[in-house]
Chains A and B, each alone.
Chain A
Amino acid sequence: MSEPERPSSLDDLNQRLKDARGKFAPDAAPEDEGASSGGLGLGFRVAIDLVAGVAVGVFVGWLLDRWLGTTPWLMVLFFFLGAGAGFSNVLRAERESRKKPD
C-alpha cells in the first residue's frame, strides 16, 4: 500500500530540489546593486569616497617621495591623481545608484 507513495514523494523531493537549485541558477543575474539608503546615505558615501581618494593619493605620493627623495613633487602629483581617483569613485557610486530604479 505504501509502494505507490514512495515514487511520488521522490518526485516531490526532486521538484523541490529543482526549485531550490533554480533559485541560484547561473543566469540569475545581479539586478540591483549599490548600497543606496536614500539621499543621505548616498551623500555620505560620496563624501567619504571623495576624501578617501585624495587621502590615498597624498599618502602614496608621500611614501614615494620618501623612498625616491623627490620631496615634495610626487606628493603634489599624486594629490591630483588622488583627486581624480576620488571623482572616479564618486562617478562609480553614482552609476551604481542609478542602476537601481527608485
Chain B
Amino acid sequence: MASPLEQFEISPIVPIQLGSVDVSFTNSSLWMVITVVVAGGTLAIAAGRGAMVPGRLQSIGELLYEFIAGLIKETIGAEGRKYFPIIFTIFVFVLTGNLLGMVPYSFTFTSHIIVTFAMAIVIFIAVTILGFARHGTHFFAFFVPPGTPLIMYPLMIPIEILSYLSRPISLAVRLFANMMAGHILLKVIAGFVAAMGVFGILPLALVVALTGLEIIIAFLQAYVFTILTCLYINDSIKLH
C-alpha cells in the first residue's frame, strides 16, 4: 500500500540544472503555476464584468475584496490601505493553493515547509525594511519593551531580538504543519477503508467528515497567515 507520505514527494517534470543548482520545474512548481492561473483567471473574470448586480463569480471577487479590506482596516487602520495589493495577493495565493490541494491527485505546495518559509522570510525581510524606512534607527526601540527598567536591558534586548527572529519560523511552521498534518491524517484514515472490509464504512464516514474539516482549515490557515502579515506590518508602522 502507498505510504501516506507519498503525496508530498517532489518529482521533477522538466529537469533544469543551473550550474550546480537544481532548478527543475517540479510538480510543486506546476501546482504553483496552476494556482496563479486559477486565482488570476477567476479574479480577472470576476473583475471584468463590473455589473451593477454581481453574478456568482463577481460576488466571489467582491467578497474577497471586502473581506481583506475589512481585515486591513481592523488590524492596521487607514494607513494599511497602501499594503492592500500584497496582502490580498498573499491571501489569495495561500487560499487557492490550500484549496487546490484538496482536489484528489493534486499536490499541496503549502504542505512543504520550504515554500511557506520562503514566503515567511520574504514577508519578514520586507517588514523589517519597512520598519527601518519608516523610523530609521529609531526602529531599534522596537526591541525594548516600554517600561523596561534600565538594569533589565541586557536581558530583554536579546530576548526581544530572538522573539523577533522567531516570527518567520512560527509563521511558516503554522501553515505548513496544519496542512501537512491534515493531509497525512486523511491518507492514514483512508488507508483503513480498504483494510477493514465491510467495516470500512466507518473510516469512510470519518474521511468525509475530515475532508470538510480540511477545507475549513484551508480557509482558516490562509486567514491566519494573512492576519499575521497584517499584524507584522502594523508593528513596523507603529512600533509597539
Please report A residues at the B interface, Cβ cutoff 8 Å: 23-26, 28-35, 37, 41, 44-45, 48-49, 51-53, 55-57, 60, 78, 81-82, 84-86, 88-89, 92, 96
Contacts and interface: CB of A to CB of B under 8 A. Distances in A.
A96 to B, nearest CB: 8
Interface in B113-156: 155
A55 B75 contact: no
A28 B220 contact: no
B77 A26 contact: yes
Given A23-B73, A81-B159, A88-B163, 5 more contacts: A24-B78, A28-B78, A30-B76, A35-B224, A56-B166
Contacts, number: 89
A86 B166 contact: yes
B68 to A, nearest CB: 13
Given A24-B81, A52-B170, A55-B169, A37 B224 contact: yes
Contact of B159 (A33, A41, A85): A85
Given A30-B77, A44-B174, A35 B159 contact: no
Interface residues of B, number: 30
A89 B228 CA distance: 13
A25 B177 CA distance: 38
Interface in B65-90: 73-79, 81
Contacts of A44: 174, 178
A85 B78 contact: no
What DSSP secondary structure best describes chain B's contact surface? helix
A45 B174 contact: yes
A50 to B, nearest CB: 9
Contact of A82 (B162, B167, B178, B231): B162
Contacts of A56: 162, 165-166, 169
A44 B79 CA distance: 30
